[in-house]
Amino acid sequence: MSTLLEVTDVATYYAAQGATIRAVDGVSFTLAGGEVLGIVGESGCGKSTLGRTVLRLVEPTAGSIRFLGEDITKLDRRAMVRRRRNMQVVFQDPFGSLNPRHRVGEIVVEPLEVHGIGDARSREARVSELLALVGLPPDAAGRYPHEFSGGQRQRIAIARALVLEPKLLIADEPVSALDVSIQSQIINLLAELRVRLGLAMLFISHDLSVIRHVSDRIAVMYLGRIVEIASTSEIFDSPSHPYTQALLSAVPHTDPARRRERILLSGEMPDPAHPPSGCAFHTRCRHAMPRCSGGRPLLTSRPTQAGPREVACYLY
């Protein structure tokens, strides 16, 4: 599979209350066409900012983002608009991501209007097609978002994102606001659409079991950096970074066989305005050595049966 997205040393800093927040701090990864890369981490790790940076909803402070072979960080606004045909997004909050004053039909047709695709009739046909694709009744087009449940609203958001037939979908916590029984419907829908449309996805979530279910590969983030990236089976079968291990062990399971020995982390995630020196995790790591607070460990790649595994840890 060819490389669709290549993110190299991307950093996104914010100024907030006089300090610089390093939300994303030197992140690199690649995504092949049709592949799903899960990005997992806890709040404040920068996963959402990373997604927004890839879409250039937030401007990167440094680094390059090559999409379909072209560095999109250099594009002006007009050129960027054209690239947006191929990269779309679904957000977490199905109550905030749809304009309450627009009918569902207007919401889904908007991307076609913006990009001047088709005429009124063909657009209408396309909207009906998309509504059917995501499993909404045909009369949905004439109704307002507030008439729908959370799960249905997420279907509307997905229809809008897919109407342009993008190559890349960034799904930012798309099922986190939904109940378990609705969550599975949306996960199934995304999985089905992925196969049908050959869609690549950047699937951002804090929920490890969801990430495990949908992703081919997983990147684990801590304090603005990727600490480990590998195939899903590698991450879950033999997590290598101490943070990945702690994260996986913290997930409660209904099946006793799936429970891991819990590694309780002490303290809280450090302030991203003042990250610790060296490895950002060393303040909470049970394996921390003097060396860890000195230089920062870089992602080191090793081959495994299921593709390369990269870990940023001196133990590895």
Partner 1 sequence: MSEAPLLAVENLSVAMGATPVLEDVSFQIAPGETLGLVGESGCGKSVTALSVMRLLPNPPGKFLGGRILFDGTDMLSLDIAALRAIRGDRIGMIFQEPMTSLNPVYTIGDQIGESLIVHRGMNGSAARTETAKLLDLVGIPAARNQLDRYPHELSGGQRQRVMIAIALACRPKLLIADEPTTALDVTVQAQILDLIGRLRVELGMAVLLITHDLGVVAEFCDRVAVMYAGRIVEEAPSAELFRNPRHRYTEALLHTMPAANPPGRKLPSISGTVPAPADRGAGCIFAARCRFAIPRCSTDLPPLTEPPHRLRCWNPA
Partner 2 sequence: MTTTTPAVTTAILPPRRLIARTLGTPGAVAGSIILVLLVFGALFASLLSPFDPNATRVCPRLAAPSLTNFFGCDLFGRDIFSRILHGAQLSLAVGLLTVAISLIAGTIIGMVIAFLGGRVDRIGVRMLDVMLGFPAIVLAILIVAVLGVGAFNAALAVGISGIPRIARVIRSATLTLVGREYVDSARAVGASQTRILRRHLLPNLWPIVIVLGSLDLGTAILSTATLSFLGLGAQPPTAEWGAMLSAGREFMRYAPWTMIFPGLALFLAVMSVNLVGDRLSHVLDPRASGHV
Contacting positions for partner 1 (CB under 8 A):
42-43, 149, 151, 179-185, 187-188, 191-192, 206, 208-210, 212-215, 232-233, 246-247, 249-256, 258-259, 262, 264-265, 268-269
- Shortest distance, position 59 Cβ to partner 2, whole Å: 11
**Taking CB under 8 A as the rule, does residue 70 contact partner 2?**
no
Q: What is the DSSP string of 97-166?
A: SS-TTS-HHHHHHHHHHHTT-S-HHHHHHHHHHHHHHTT--GGGGGS-GGGS-HHHHHHHHHHHHHTT--
**Taking CB under 8 A as the rule, does residue 93 contact partner 2?**
yes
Three-class SS state of 248: helix
Tell me the longest C-alpha to C-alpha distance in the chain.
68
- Shortest distance, position 238 Cβ to partner 1, whole Å: 15
**Taking CB under 8 A as the rule, does residue 89 contact partner 2?**
yes
- Shortest distance, position 243 Cβ to partner 2, whole Å: 29
Q: At what angle do helices 150-162 and 120-133 cross, to 10 degrees?
A: 130
Q: Which option in partner 2, partner 1, none does residue 93 bind, with CB closer than 5 to 8 A by kind?
A: partner 2
Going edge to edge, which strands form the sheet with 300-304? 87-90, 168-172, 200-205, 36-40, 217-222, 225-231, 307-311, 300-304
**Taking CB under 8 A as the rule, does residue 18 contact partner 2?**
no
Binding mask 30-59 for partner 2 (x = CB under 8 A): ----------------------x--x-x--
Place of tokens 């937030």: 58
Q: 4: which 2 tokens?
A: 């669709």
For 3, half-sphere exposure in the C-beta direction (CA atoms, 13 angstrom radius) is 10
- Shortest distance, position 27 Cβ to partner 1, whole Å: 20
Q: Which option in partner 1, partner 2, none does residue 258 bind, with CB closer than 5 to 8 A by kind?
A: partner 1
- Shortest distance, position 65 Cβ to partner 2, whole Å: 15
**Taking CB under 8 A as the rule, does residue 179 contact partner 2?**
yes
**Taking CB under 8 A as the rule, does residue 98 contact partner 2?**
yes
**Taking CB under 8 A as the rule, does residue 23 contact partner 2?**
no
Q: At what angle do helices 120-133 and 104-114 cross, to 10 degrees?
A: 120
**Identity of the residue numbered 82:** R
Residue 202's DSSP bridge partners are 37, 170
Binding residues (CB under 8 A) for partner 2: these are 52, 55, 57, 80-82, 84-85, 87-89, 91-93, 95-102, 110-111, 114-115, 144, 146, 150, 157, 160, 164, 177-179
